[in-house]
Structure formats: C-alpha cells, structure tokens
A and B are shown apart, each in its own frame.
Chain A
Amino acid sequence: MNIRAIIQKIRSSFNHREELPNKAVLGFLRVLESVREEECSCDEIYTKIDEYVEREVDKKDAAQLMPLIREHLDLCPECCEEYEALMHVLEKTSKDQV
C-alpha cells in the first residue's frame, strides 16, 4: 500500500458515520455500574495523585480517605496507568531513599 492509498483510507475513515461495533457497546456498558453522579476530573486526579500514592506506599488507607480518586482510577484507564507507574517508581525508589 503506498502513502497516497494510506492517506485516502485515513480520510475516508473520518468522512462517514462509523457504526459502533458490538465490542465497543459492551465495553461502554462494562463501566456503567461504577459511574457516580459526583466525579473527579482528570486534572483533579493529576493534582492529588502524588499525595494519594504516597499514602498508599505508607500503607495508609488512601482509597478510604480519598474515595473519589479511587473511583476515577477505576473508570479512567489512562489515569490508572499513570497511578500504577508512579506507585511502581515510589515502591522501588523509596528503598533507595530518593
């Protein structure tokens, strides 16, 4: 496939109303049970996640103290990835007293 064909394919993919595949429908349903009216934004999570992770590393019950953060992490895969990566960094480097 040449570059022109690739560009054409990309253009055409954005020009028609794409049907939602069943997999996407089910994926969307999967998170609905956890959705609450009250919700933190990604920015709010980013502001507090360092404090949250430190509490977790110190074995304080962060999820109980900051429940909205835990709920957001359960719903937002990208914030959750960042949380897990930061946890891993702190768990490993705190042993070296960084």
Chain B
Amino acid sequence: MPTRTNEAWLSDLATPGPAREAALEDLRVIIQKGLPYALSRWLSPDQPQFNSLVEEVTQETLLRVLDQLSTFEGRSQFTTWVHKIAVRIALTELRRKRWRDSSLDELTENEDVPPPPGLLADPQASPETSAERVDMLQRVSRIIEEELTDRQRQALILLGVQDMPMEDAARKLKTNRNALYKLLHDARLRLKRRLSMEDISPNEVLTLFEHK
C-alpha cells in the first residue's frame, strides 16, 4: 500500500476514477485493521456477529468519508480522522444493539421478579445512618423535582434509569446528541447552584452512602 500524505488522500478521493478506487480499497484495509481494536472491549473476532458488523461499519465509513471529505481540516492524520468516523459508527451500532437486547431481556425475563433492594435497604447501616440517608435523599430528590424541567427530567430517566444510549435518547426526544448533552449540562449546572444555595455538597451526600 502506498504511503499518502493528507493532501494525496484528499486528491485521490476527490474525483471518481481509478485513483479514488485504489484509495478506497486502501482505506478499507486500514479501517478493517483498526476496527478489531476499537471493538475489542465489547466484541471479539470469534463472535458470530463480528464479521458482519465490521463489513457494515466499513461500508458506512467509506460512504461517510466521501460525503464529509470537504470537512476534513487537517488537524490530524487523514487516517486518524477516518478511524474516528469508523469508531463513531461502530460504537453507535453496538450501543443500539446492546440496549435493545438488554431491554428485551428485562421485559421478558424479569416480569415477575421483585425489584432489587434499594440503596436505603442496607442491612449493615446503623439506624442513624439509615435515617440520615432517607432524609438526605428526600431533600435532594425534592430539589431535583423542583429544579429540572420536564424535558431535563425525561432525559435523565432515559439515560440514567433506562440506560438508553445517547443517540437513541436524542432521537426519542426529537433532538440530537449534542443538544441532549447541553440539556443535561444545563440540568447539572442548575442543580449544582441550587444545592450550593441549600448548603448541600454533592460529595458529602455521596460520602453518606459510602460509610456504614
């Protein structure tokens, strides 16, 4: 495979023809060399869905690279930029699949199983600690209820309770991942300011749940 500069990649990919075909083929090899490392935390090459996922991600990455070629600013090596696109596509797909599978598992397997004991039902905690925890959680929960908008609350439930991936949660809220992160950031800032006004330190609350 020839070594290309960033400019050579851009020039080869810019117009249809043999140079673009050769560059796409080289990119395919590069993407498929990187993907096993990108996926290694979640999927190993001997799992049945591995090859189809890699193929699907590679195709989608090549299409996106051609589509977004004009947005490459040369801040990094061109191949790093391509790997970044492949990682985003691969992890988005994995998260969606993982969440759908776990949600269906919960619906079908846990319908008659009682909920797990809550954080307050800690048998090792002293009565005083338990009472303090109940009191503190009630205060914080009330503040959250008062401070967060319905939309911020909905986002928190989707992400923090249902463990929905951000891309899916954003779609459900008819927004995008960027705006969803901003929504959460604003919620955190509001809560941080309010807790500070009420003289409650988040770390102190957390510490209360760490010691018995």
Contact = CB atoms under 8 A, between A and B. Distances in A.
Interface in B12-59: 30, 33-35, 37-41
B79 to A, nearest CB: 6
A78 B38 contact: no
Given A29-B202, A32-B188, A41-B178, 6 more contacts: A22-B119, A28-B188, A28-B191, A42-B178, A54-B80, A89-B34
A51 B156 contact: no
Main secondary structure, interface of A, reads helix
Given A26-B119, A32-B202, A6 B107 contact: yes
B91 interface: yes
Given A35-B192, A46-B84, A88 B40 contact: yes
A6 to B, nearest CB: 5
Interface of B: 3, 30, 33-35, 37-41, 73, 75-77, 79-81, 83-84, 87-88, 90-91, 95, 104, 107-108, 111, 118-120, 137, 140-141, 144, 153, 156-157, 160-161, 165-167, 177-178, 181-182, 185, 188-189, 191-192, 195, 202-203, 205-206, 209
